Amino acid sequence: MSDTKFVLSEKEIPRQWYNLAADLPKAPLPPLGPDGNPISPDMLAPVFPMNLIEQEVSSDRWIDIPEEILEIYSMWRPSPLYRAKRLEKLLDTPARIYYKNEGVSPAGSHKPNTAVPQAWYNKQFGIERLTTETGAGQWGSALSFACSLVGLECKVFMVRISFDQKPFRRLMMEAWGGKCIPSPSTATQAGRNILEQMPDTPGSLGIAISEAVEAAVTDESGKTRYSLGSVLNHVMLHQTIIGQEAKKQLALAGEKKADVIIGCAGGGSNFAGLAFPFVLDKINGEDITIIPVEPASCPTMTRAPFAYDHGDTAGMTPLLPMHSLGHNFVPPPIHAGGLRYHGMAPLVSHAIELGLLEPLALHQLECYDAAVKFARTEGFISAPETSHAIAATIKEALKAKEEGKEKVILFNWSGHGLMDLKGYEMYFGGQLQDYALPDEEIEKSEEILKTYPKPVIV
Amino acid sequence: MSDTKFVLSEKEIPRQWYNLAADLPKAPLPPLGPDGNPISPDMLAPVFPMNLIEQEVSSDRWIDIPEEILEIYSMWRPSPLYRAKRLEKLLDTPARIYYKNEGVSPAGSHKPNTAVPQAWYNKQFGIERLTTETGAGQWGSALSFACSLVGLECKVFMVRISFDQKPFRRLMMEAWGGKCIPSPSTATQAGRNILEQMPDTPGSLGIAISEAVEAAVTDESGKTRYSLGSVLNHVMLHQTIIGQEAKKQLALAGEKKADVIIGCAGGGSNFAGLAFPFVLDKINGEDITIIPVEPASCPTMTRAPFAYDHGDTAGMTPLLPMHSLGHNFVPPPIHAGGLRYHGMAPLVSHAIELGLLEPLALHQLECYDAAVKFARTEGFISAPETSHAIAATIKEALKAKEEGKEKVILFNWSGHGLMDLKGYEMYFGGQLQDYALPDEEIEKSEEILKTYPKPVIV
């Protein structure tokens, strides 16, 4: 048997999450409130439980993972690390390609890595119900799964067009007991306002966030909080279990170091989860290239300014220091729904500003082509988001071939595409097109973002 | 961390398949040809490669697994064994419930355990192309996956109504490079005949088998063979890797023995894969209850006669000694498509006749109820087929509670239900009904089967 899969025992699951904020050469900037001043933890208390707020603002390097969370993690963790030998052979590359398989979770992606601790900490804090939003349904299903195991109610506002067109992830939520509501809905003021103005709107992630936040903060019992699946510091934190495991597994595979780390990035969490433990190595002087990959149609990292902006369309969230196309930006309807977000996690954005990352934007046809090559060699069918990481990996592997270098490339296989086969159908049928965002759109975003305070890293 | 997952290292994958035929107290009966006499291996040569025919007729107890197959197996094997502690708690049972998770394969079920060796042995034999049939698409996608990794073409005849209504498994096949054709098709004489008589037929598994066999045997290059995903001896053989792993994992969990073994059974392969290594223990005198579970709407094992019958509707296959509702029987359209087969594997049927198994028939509402309980405690969403094993497990666990016995129950979680959520939607919407096959239907089958030779075990 060849060494193509590297498995850790349950006892080797990392016992702590890694907080990159503790090691950044320059301190991250705080979120700002409506008055333009940094917000205090207390101001977030109606939205999140205090134990998660503490993680959000923590500068501790390591944060212990509670035993009960480790127990649930152990359902699918440690996730396997694979060597992509058949893909290497197809590419005829001297590079050694590894991928971390996060598709093995019951929800099929990396999302449960943070859904479970978020549900658990809320439960600990006496919360009885979580609200959240979801686009294509990946996050809503992960949180429904987590709430079901921990014993919380879960209410998910799902963008209406996805609710209607993609019933399967909604059904996953319902199988786990989650309540899924098409957004905009009449259940919130924000939803009612939108419906009055635009009764036929297909909805948007921004609107759904506004509804979920409102539903949490207006619940008079005080037992409801809101949960977000990406962007925030504590979400990145929870995901670092991926990169920590990968390091141990690379060692098992006999690799002294990784040369290139790759992940797709929408809000930033699966990328950060794999990459942040390696960013520390880079900060400590190791020669390592770290690449977050985004769609060319939503080029937050490669073309949008680093600015203060809201996380949601309605402007209910604090201002976050991040690469943003503007909270009013509506990304084109590419199939990688999880990469259609106007902003980028503040910690990822900050690391870009410090020159620690080398973001890359790719077109979707190249990504689907990569995913099909991957399916026919490595055997796994990838989520459209994940296909971006594969395409970047193939680029790097071919570069290594040109250079004649034996590079070690590691990417995050963030999820399977079994619920996303419609995109493959359109790709095979020649119905997909590439789309690069026109410069005018970027300029429009810059104009709007100028009205907010300018983030300055010192 | 609690002990709820039991993982073997790659090195612990069993190196041999187990052949129950070697240990049965009374010898299995041979298949019969059109003349009513036992068929010779040579007669199967146009359909299967000789290396697989040798396995089909082998009476060796152990058959070595080639290294290259072990390498592909290691993509997802050894599959994890779970202790269902949260389900136990919900049921408040003294039973300890374990399940083998076969949903971790890239195709999402146990099917690749035999798809990979079948593709590999055909390739070894110089074959370039496999044909097969598929109903809902589970088997067709598994074989497309296997052919893609081994380097064979794959042509799948898919029952037309599924082809039209369930595009996702077809898209899986295409992602792996398989060619998927709606059946009946104009590509075969069998298909053309049917289309002439019934241009609007939705198709059936029986017709699709006839088309796939015809496409294999009429290919003049001689480089095409047919592949079947269940029923045959060599398919059962390949699946026994499941039960062998489970035995090692039960030992890891500190269990000296299993008291109850459960698997759902359509053609019989996932059940046999888990159960046959334990059937050997039963033959050797161990006190163990082994339960194959079928739908009450297609009660092959519990109500149909043990008879000689064809495996396909058109009567192209040899006569197999098996429990059968008659090859013309059309099972009602329940959601557990994989359990809608008129026959049952000869080896499973034989073991039933010898009193080694205790088959059980269940209604689908009870099964969906069990699957929802399972999703909300153990976190995995089950295939409709698999839900039958879960429902039987819950029955046994509640029986153990009544009796106050600390039984060890092991079942095969044969696959995830992520491609089958429509059934859950109908269940949640109250649109599903139970259906027990009327006695007249059974009598009709018995009448037809009387025209064939009667199998007599001596």
Q: Quick check: A4 and B75 CB within 8 A?
A: yes
pLDDT digits (tens, 9 = 90+) for A75-105: 999 999 999 999 999 999 999 999 999 999 9
Q: Say what the pLDDT of residue A9 is.
A: 86
Q: Where are the beta strands (DSSP E) in A15-165?
A: 16-18, 62-64, 81-83, 96-101, 129-134, 153-159
Q: Is B330 exposed, middle or buried (0-12, 13-18, 19+ CB in 10 A)?
A: middle
B290 φ/ψ angles, rounded to the nearest 5 degrees:
-120, 120
State the pLDDT confidence band at A207, using cuts at 50, 70 and 90: confident
Q: Quick check: A106 and B379 CB within 8 A?
A: yes
pLDDT of A2 > 70? The answer is no
Give A137's contacts in chain B (Cβ within 8 Å): none
Residue B119's nearest CA partner among B85, B160, B68 is: B68
Window 50-69 of A: residues touching B by CB (8 A cutoff) are 67
Give A422's contacts in chain B (Cβ within 8 Å): 171
pLDDT digits (tens, 9 = 90+) for A104-149: 999 999 999 999 999 999 999 999 999 999 988 999 999 999 999 9
State ipTM: 0.94
Residue A135's nearest CA partner among A308, A334, A305, A295 is: A334
Q: Quick check: B9 and A7 CB within 8 A?
A: yes
In a domain? residue B27: no
Q: Which helix (H) or strand (E) holds A412?
A: strand A408-413
pLDDT > 90 in chain B, percent: 86
In a domain? residue A424: yes
Give the Cα separation of B135 and B130 in Å (integer).
17
Q: Say what the pLDDT of residue A166 is.
A: 81
Q: Give the 3-state DSSP-derived string for chain B, with helices as H, strands as E and coil as C.
A: CCCCEECCCHHHCCCEEECHHHCCCCCCCCCECCCCCECCHHHHCCCCCHHHHHHHHCCCCEEECCHHHHHHHCCCCCCCEEECHHHHHHHCCCCEEEEEEHHHCCCCECCHHHHHHHHHHHHHCCCCEEEEEECCCHHHHHHHHHHHHHCCEEEEEEEHHHHHHCHHHHHHHHHCCCEEEEECCCCCHHHHHHHHHCCCCCCCHHHHHHHHHHHHHCCCCCCEEECCCCCCHHHHHHHCHHHHHHHHHHHHCCCCCCCEEEEECCCCHHHHHHHHHHHHHHHCCCCCEEEEEEECCCCHHHHCCEEEEECCCCCCCCEEEEEECCCCCCCCCCCCHHHCCCECCHHHHHHHHCCCCCCEEECHHHHHHHHHHHHHHHCCCECHHHHHHHHHHHHHHHHHHHHCCCCEEEEEECEECCCCHHHHHHHHCCCCCCCCCCHHHHHHHHHHHCCCCCCCCC
More confident residue, B445 or B333: B445
Q: Which residues of A111-121 are buried (b: 16+ CB within 10 A; e: fewer)?
A: bbbbbbbbbbb
Distance of CA A135 to the CA centre of its chain: 13
Interface test with B, best of A168, A173, A386 (most B CBs within 10 A): A168
Number of other residues whose CB lies within 10 A of the CB of residue B333: 11
Give the Cα separation of A250 and A260 in Å (integer).
13
Give the Cα separation of A357 and A374 in Å (integer).
25
The pLDDT mean for chain B works out to: 95
- Are the C-beta atoms of residues B401 and B94 closer than 8 Å to each other? yes
In a domain? residue A221: no
In a domain? residue B32: no
Residue B453's nearest CA partner among B303, B264, B322 is: B322
Of A1, A108, A371, which has the smallest distance from its Cβ to B67's Cβ? A1
The structure tokens listed for B404 are 């106050």
Distance from the B150 Cα atom to the nearest Cα atom in chain A, whole angstroms: 9
Of A70, A86, A376, which has the smallest distance from its Cβ to B177's Cβ? A376
Decide the pairing of beta strands A129-134 and A224-226.
parallel
Place of tokens 């990794």: B149
* Range in A223-227, A264-268, B162-166 the model is least confident about: B162-166
Of B149, B171, B418, which has the smallest distance from its Cβ to A424's Cβ? B171
Give the three-state DSSP class for A198: coil
Q: Which residues of B193-216 are buried (b: 16+ CB within 10 A; e: fewer)?
A: ebbeeeeeebbbbbbbbbbbbbbb
pLDDT digits (tens, 9 = 90+) for B165-216: 888 999 999 999 999 999 999 999 999 999 999 898 888 888 899 999 999 9
For residue A104, what is the DSSP state?
Answer: G
- Are the C-beta atoms of residues B73 and B14 closer than 8 Å to each other? no
In a domain? residue A126: no
Q: How far is CA A8 from CA A19, A194, A306, in A?
A: 22, 49, 39
CATH of the domain at B260: 3.40.50.1100
Q: Quick check: B379 and A418 CB within 8 A?
A: no
Q: Say what the pLDDT of residue B318 is.
A: 93
Q: How far is CA B253 from CA B8, B247, B377, in A?
A: 11, 10, 20
β-strand partners of B133: B157
In a domain? residue B279: yes
The structure tokens listed for A5 are 């899969």
pLDDT of B36 > 80? The answer is yes
In a domain? residue B51: no
**Rounded mean pLDDT, A396-421:** 96
Give B176's contacts in chain A (Cβ within 8 Å): 375-376, 379, 381
Q: Say what the pLDDT of residue B205 is.
A: 83
Of B168, B172, B381, which has the smallest distance from its Cβ to A175's Cβ? B381
In a domain? residue B118: no
Give the three-state DSSP class for A279: helix
Q: Quick check: B149 and A86 CB within 8 A?
A: yes
Residue B448 exposure: Cα atoms within 13 Å on the Cβ side: 16
β-strand partners of B208: none
The per-residue DSSP string of A289-318 comes to EEEEEEETTS-HHHHS-EEEEESSTT--SP
A412 φ/ψ angles, rounded to the nearest 5 degrees:
-95, 115
What's the structural domain count of chain B?
1
pLDDT digits (tens, 9 = 90+) for B72-98: 999 999 999 999 999 999 999 999 999
**Rounded mean pLDDT, A356-373:** 97
Residue B269's nearest CA partner among B217, B319, B228 is: B228
- Are the C-beta atoms of residues B36 and A45 closer than 8 Å to each other? no
Give B422's contacts in chain A (Cβ within 8 Å): 171
Q: Which residue type occupies B393?
A: T
Distance from the A384 Cα atom to the nearest Cα atom in chain B, whole angstroms: 13
- Are the C-beta atoms of residues B212 and B157 closer than 8 Å to each other? yes
pLDDT of A182 > 70? The answer is yes
Residue A280's domain comprises 5-12+64-108+234-449
- Answer whether 0.90 is exceeded by the pTM: yes
User: Phi/psi zone of residue A355: left (φ > 0), alpha (ψ -120 to 50 degrees), beta?
Assistant: left
> How far apart are the two ends of chain A, measured CA to CA in Å?
53
Q: Quick check: B10 and A2 CB within 8 A?
A: no
The nearest alpha carbon in chain A to B176 belongs to: A376
Give B381's contacts in chain A (Cβ within 8 Å): 106, 172, 175-176
Calculate helix-pair angle for A364-378, B167-175, nearest 10 degrees. Answer: 80
Q: Say what the pLDDT of residue A350 is.
A: 98
Residues B217/B221/B227/B233 CA torsion (nearest 10 deg)? 70
CB of B425 less than 8 A from some CB of A: yes
pLDDT digits (tens, 9 = 90+) for B389-440: 999 999 999 999 999 999 999 999 999 999 989 999 999 999 999 998 999 9
Q: Quick check: A375 and B1 CB within 8 A?
A: no
State the pLDDT confidence band at B2, using cuts at 50, 70 and 90: low
Give the three-state DSSP class for A146: helix
CB of B161 less than 8 A from some CB of A: no
pLDDT digits (tens, 9 = 90+) for B322-360: 999 999 887 877 777 788 889 999 999 999 999 999 999
